[in-house]
Amino acid sequence: MSRLNSNPDARSDEGGFREVERALLYQVSEAAALLGIGRTNVYYLMNDGKLGSVRIGSRRLIPRAALLAFVEGLAEAS
């Protein structure tokens, strides 16, 4: 079971999807799943400065605000 589906605070809506918006920081794999892209692409976006991230110890995490800003930027560009 993935970490996205194992959140005890997540509520299931009518369609069976779970809310994951409560998290403030996401692992690369979680961000990739939310964006519908692979982990490698998330690393490319972070390295290119297109997707913000923070480092906590040795872990690279993506703030929720950075994900939202990235998606909003995509919508504005198209």
Work out whether the CA dihedral 3, 7, 19, 63 comes out positive or negative.
negative
- For residue 20, the model assigns a pLDDT of 55
Distance, in Å, from the CA atom of 21 to the CA atom of 10, rounded to the nearest integer, reads: 9
63: which 2 tokens? 């703030």
Q: In this structure, what CATH number is given to the domain that contains residue 69?
A: 1.10.1660
- For residue 21, the model assigns a pLDDT of 58
Report how many domains make up the chain.
1
- For residue 61, the model assigns a pLDDT of 97
The string of DSSP letters for 10-46 reads --B-TTS-B--TT-SEEEHHHHHHHHTS-HHHHHHHH
> Interhelix angle for 28-35 vs 39-47, to 10°?
100
Q: Determine the structural domain holding residue 61 and report its residue range.
A: 3-77
- pTM summary value: 0.71
> What are the mean pLDDT values of the chain's consecutive 10-residue runs (78 residues total)?
47 49 90 96 97 97 96 90
